[in-house]
Amino acid sequence: MTSESAAVHWRSFSSREALLQQLATDLVDYANRTLAAQAAFDIVLAGGETPRSLYARLPHARTDWARWQVWFGDERCVPAGDPRRNDSMARAAWLDHVAIPAAQIHALDDAARYTQALAAVPCFDLVLLGLGEDGHTASLFPGHPWGDSSNAPAVLRVTDAPKPPRERLTLSAARLSASRAAWVLAWGENKRHALQRWQAGELLPVTAIRPAAGTVVYWCAD
Cis peptide before 59 (omega within 30 of 0): no
The answer to whether 168 and 162 have CB atoms below 8 angstroms apart is no
Sign of CA dihedral 40, 44, 47, 50: negative
Residue 166 engages ligand 6PG in binding (rule: CB under 6 A): no
Using the rule CB under 6 A, give the single segment among 48-56, 64-72, 102-110, 174-182 that binds ligand 6PG.
48-56
Q: What are phi and psi of 79, to 5 degrees?
A: -60, 150
The answer to whether 140 and 146 have CB atoms below 8 angstroms apart is yes
Using the rule CB under 6 A, give the single segment among 5-13, 35-43, 47-55, 198-206 that binds ligand 6PG.
47-55
Using the rule CB under 6 A, give the single segment among 6-14, 34-42, 43-51, 152-160 that binds ligand 6PG.
43-51
Residue 132 engages ligand 6PG in binding (rule: CB under 6 A): yes
Which one-letter DSSP state was computed for residue 120? T
* Alpha-carbon gap, residue 32 to 30, rounded angstroms: 6
Among the listed residues 48, 145, 153, 214, the single contact to ligand 6PG using CB under 6 A = 48
Q: How many residues in the chain? A: 222
Would you say 20 or 65 has its CB closer to ligand 6PG? 20
Would you say 41 or 218 has its CB closer to ligand 6PG? 218
Binding stretches for ligand 6PG (CB under 6 A): 46-50, 130-132, 136, 139, 163
